[in-house]
Amino acid sequence: MARHPVLERRIGHRFKDPALLAQALTHRSFGSPHYERLEFLGDSVLGCAVTELLFQRHPDLPEGKLSRIRAGLIREESLARVGRELGIAAFLRLDESTARNEGADRPSILADALEAVYGAVFLDGGYAIAREVIERTFGTALTQLDPDAVDKDAKTRLQECLQAKRRAKPRYRVVSTSGAKQSLVFEVECAVDDLELKATGHGSSRQRAEQQAAGHVLALLGS
C-alpha cells in the first residue's frame, strides 16, 4: 500500500497501517473501501477532542458559549479551511466525473475527508494521538481563539431574534434530496409562519442546509 509521507508530516502522524489513510482519502465515487465509515467515526472523535480542548483552555466559559464555539470550529466551512491548509485535495481519490466538477475543492468533500483522516488516526494510534493531530491541524483556530468574537450559528440567532419579537419558533422541513449517493444534496425550507416568511437552504447534510436556510430568513428579517 502506497504511503502519503507528505500528508503524514503535515498532520504529524506516521501510520502503522497506511491502508487506513488511503481509505480516508478515497471518495465513494472512486470505489470501495471509501471514507464514509471513517468519516462517521472521525466526526465523533473530532467533537470529543475539540470539546476537551475547549474545556481545558477556557475554564471560566459557560456551557452555552462553549457549545457555540465548538459548533463554529467543527462546521463544514471551518473543516474545509483546515483541509485546504493541509492540501488534502491533492491526495484525494475521485472518479473522473467528480474530479472534473472540482470535487476535490468542494467544501463538503474536504470536510468529510478531513473527518475521515481523524477517524483513521484514531484507529491507527488511539484517542490521545488523534487529539494531538486535531490540536496541531486546527492550529491558530484554537490557540488564538477569541471567545468574545465567536458568532452564534444562524439557527440560534434566528430563534433568539424571533423570541425577542415574541414570534413562534421557525419550522424546518426537508423539501428534497438530489444527486448521487456520494454527493447527496439536501434542500431544506425554513418557515416563520406568523410572519409569512420562508427561505430554503442547501447542504451536504440536513443540519448544514438548515443553517443556510436560517441565515437566509435572518437576511429577510434584516438581522
Burial class (CB in 10 A: 0-12, 13-18, 19+), 207: middle
How, if at all, do strands 185-192 and 171-178 pair?
A: antiparallel
Active site (annotated) includes residue 112: no
Among residues 89, 204, 47, 73, the alpha carbon closest in space to that of 144 is found at: 73
Active site (annotated) includes residue 105: no
Please tell me which residue in 39, 43, 189, 210 is annotated as part of the active site: 43
CB atoms within 10 A of CB 196: 7
Long-range contacts, stretch 52-56, CB < 8 angstroms, 24+ apart: 52/131, 53/131, 53/134, 53/135, 53/142
Please tell me which residue in 39, 76, 112, 115 is annotated as part of the active site: 115
> Which H or E run contains 39?
helix 36-57
**Whole-angstrom distance, CA of residue 138 vs CA of residue 86:** 10
> Which H or E run contains 176?
strand 171-178
Query: 173 - beta bridge partners?
Result: 189
Catalytically annotated residues? 43, 115
